[in-house]
Structure 1
Amino acid sequence: MAFGQGASAYQQVRSHGGVESADPHGLITLLMDGALERLVTARGHMQRGEIAAKGEVIGRCIEIIGGLRDALDPKVETPLVGQLDALYDYMGRRLLHANLRNDVGALDEVSTLLQKIRASWVQIPLEARRPAGAAA
């Protein structure tokens, strides 16, 4: 995904509030929250047969997932980075499927996966959120 798309996802979530004062950990949390909100919205559009609105919201969600994927640091030597990259890729493909097939189950699957990632993300202790060598 190009940087511009990740920046676009950030701009979309920026309207969520708190971005200016958020640390990098908080920004990722805001992106996840934005994607989860859009998944709920997309589900409603899908159930009401609002095809254009559904497609637009799912597209935005795919951009946010791409932004989360772009935020992964490949220099961090842990299998988790590759696993998250693959999971975000899978989620993007499932969202495309959901959009094309009007598959509410695929939307719910992505929502469940993202909720699990977010729940783990927010449990990271404050001291572990600082980059190595950063002052307290």
Structure 2
Amino acid sequence: MTNQGIAQYQRVSTQTSVMDADPHRLIQLLFNGALAKMAVARGAIERKNFEEKNRALNSAIDIVNGLRESLNLDAGDLAGNLDNLYEYMIFRLFEANAKNDVARIDEVHGLLSQIKEAWDAIREQAIATQPMQQVAR
């Protein structure tokens, strides 16, 4: 399969996943997307492909910002703490982009991976609290 064919398959697969996803799954997809973009950026830095690195980190920043914007800050301290952590991650990704620093990307990747693991662990509980029409998708 050519690179163009692979890219087209990934776009269709992603679109299908998003259309069929419940709210909990949508957040999982955002986590996966941000982590994947960070991995691409890391590889691009190692290959000295700075245009690709810039695109990938800007996408990762946009996704983390989307996660941040999805928080319900009225829900309590956890949401506020996540807001601060996402803000920190965005700052570190900007720094990584400016300095071509894989260590900063690795730091954010590790932090976001921990949040994703916790999010994945509550999937059954989250689905149980959703209205039936959302779960039935």
TM-score by length of 2: 0.81
Aligned residues: 122
Encode CA deviations 1:36-78: one digit per residue, 9 max, x unaligned.
Answer: 01111000001111111111110000000000001101231x2
Identity %: 39
What is residue 48 of structure 2 aligned with on the other side? 49
Alpha-carbon distance between aligned partners in 1 of 2:33 and 2:68, rounded to the nearest angstrom? 15
The residue type equivalent to 1:75 in the other structure is: D
Alpha-carbon distance between aligned partners in 2 of 1:75 and 1:83, rounded to the nearest angstrom? 12
Residue 62 (structure 1) aligned with residue 96 (structure 2): no
Alpha-carbon distance between aligned partners in 2 of 1:14 and 1:131, rounded to the nearest angstrom? 29
Root-mean-square deviation over aligned CA pairs: 2.0
Residue 98 (structure 1) aligned with residue 93 (structure 2): no
Larger radius of gyration: 2
What is residue 114 of structure 1 aligned with on the other side? 112
Q: Which runs of 5+ in 2 are unaligned?
A: 1-10
What is residue 79 of structure 1 aligned with on the other side? 77
User: Going by fraction, where is helix more abundant, 1 or 2?
Assistant: 2
TM-score by length of 1: 0.82
Q: Which runs of 5+ in 1 are unaligned?
A: 1-12
Partner SS, residue 18 of structure 2: coil
What is residue 5 of structure 2 aligned with on the other side? none
